Chains A and B, each alone.
Chain A
Amino acid sequence: MTLLGWSEHDLGVPGRVLPVVTASDPVLSAASERVDAADPKVTQLAADLVATMRVSPGCLGLAAPQIGVGWHVFCVDVGGHAKARTTHGTFALCNAEVIEATRWEKAREGCMSVPDLTGDVKRATRLVVAGELAGSTEHVVVETDAFEARALQHEIDHCEGLLFLDRVAGAHAVFRRRVYR
């Protein structure tokens, strides 16, 4: 199992679509437990995360706390997003850590767990992250930039019990999400 070409089919179990919890739930404010990436329960969790991400419009990443599980696992897929440059397609990482973060830029982001707000957050646009691929013992280092870097930092924050709200740039950097029809 490798990062490039990874897909949820590599997990070998069907994912379930689970409800996404929202911001007043304490699971989103607690640091997650590190996991054994090869544990079948982690494999199932990764499959569930990808399945839930896939059916959620506009969702480009989902972390375990967002489906109520305090484990250090998340998935992302920013392929095709207009703000993405380097992309690695779909992947689910366990116990991921930021190794290197440079070239910080502010941009607006939202979150399925904070459905009514968006905020301006400064993130590194050059990023190196290390972790284990879910469902394997494979240690991987992901070197990325631009929007995939933002997505990874957002999801790692979830696993540390942080929301983008904890990192907004100022008192006037939070915005009510407007729905235009």
Chain B
Amino acid sequence: MTLLAVTVIGHDRPGIIADVTAGLADLGINLEDSSMTLLRGHFAMTLVCAGDVPLGQVERALAPLAADGSLLVTVRSVPAEAVSKASGNPYLLTVHGGDRPGIVSAVTRVLADSGGNIIDLTTRLTGDMYLLVAEVDLPVSVDTDALAGRLAATGADLGVRVTLSRQETDLL
């Protein structure tokens, strides 16, 4: 069984997901994890799927989607990754303020220096406001109050508001 990573990005229209997944289903490929959204109006999808099909055959099956130049489709084989168990505590980071280059790099560097692992992240630019929301796995050894202070200071230098809060998980 081969794992494949498929990316599709380009001009949005109804039916892209139906077309991509039909091409994969016709080859007996099973969809595993996927994510799709619109990024500034562009269709953007990444999916990991599994099947016993040569890479070239998958590329040929999806090639018609890219034929008119409106979509960029890539297919790569990827190794299986063990689904890692979270080793730390779940936190949510939000950043918002006036847009400028370097916000994401500065804030995520502070997290990385503390061993914080971002497991999900979205950013939005609306008007002149930039927003980042990230779910972060923080090692239990991290002094989160001190980290929140460093993040707030970094945010203040950039003129943006940074909030780090513990994420609640309610198991029912």
Binding site for B on A (CB under 8 A): 22-24, 26, 29, 114-117, 122, 161-163, 165-174, 176
Contact among A26, A29, A117, A166 for B126, CB-based, below 8 A: A117
Contact among A116, A165, A169 for B96, CB-based, below 8 A: A165
Question: What 7 A-B pairs are tightest by C-beta distance, nearest first?
Answer: A116-B126, A24-B98, A171-B120, A29-B161, A23-B129, A166-B163, A24-B129
CB nearest neighbor in A for B135: A171
- Pick from A114, A171, A172, A174 the residue with the most CB of B within 10 Å: A171
CB nearest neighbor in A for B131: A165
**Can you identify 12 A-B contacts, CB atoms within 8 angstroms?**
A22-B129, A23-B97, A23-B129, A24-B128, A115-B126, A117-B124, A166-B96, A168-B92, A171-B121, A171-B122, A171-B134, A174-B131
Q: Are A166 and B161 in contact (CB under 8 A)?
A: yes
CB nearest neighbor in B for A173: B133
- Pick from B121, B131, B159, B167 the residue with the most CB of A within 10 Å: B131
Contacts of A172 in B (CB 8 A): 120, 122
CB nearest neighbor in A for B121: A171
Q: Are A170 and B133 in contact (CB under 8 A)?
A: yes
Binding site for A on B (CB under 8 A): 92, 94, 96-99, 120-122, 124, 126-131, 133-135, 159, 161, 163, 165, 167-168
User: Knowing A29-B161, A171-B120, A171-B122 touch, does A24 contact B97 (C-beta < 8 A)?
Assistant: yes
Give CA–CA (A7, B163) in the complex, Å: 36
Q: Are B96 and A170 in contact (CB under 8 A)?
A: no
Contacts of A122 in B (CB 8 A): 168
Contact among A22, A170, A174 for B167, CB-based, below 8 A: A170
Contacts of B131 in A (CB 8 A): 117, 165, 174
Give CA–CA (A24, B126) in the complex, Å: 10
Question: Known pairs A24-B98, A170-B135, A171-B121. 15 more at Cβ < 8 A?
Answer: A24-B99, A24-B127, A24-B130, A114-B126, A116-B126, A161-B161, A163-B96, A169-B92, A171-B120, A171-B133, A172-B122, A173-B133, A174-B124, A174-B133, A176-B124
A115 to chain B, nearest CB (A): 8
Q: Are A26 and B159 in contact (CB under 8 A)?
A: yes
Give CA–CA (A170, B167) in the complex, Å: 8
Q: Are A23 and B159 in contact (CB under 8 A)?
A: no
Give CA–CA (A29, B129) in the complex, Å: 13
Contacts of B168 in A (CB 8 A): 122
Give CA–CA (A163, B96) in the complex, Å: 9
Contacts of A117 in B (CB 8 A): 124, 126, 131
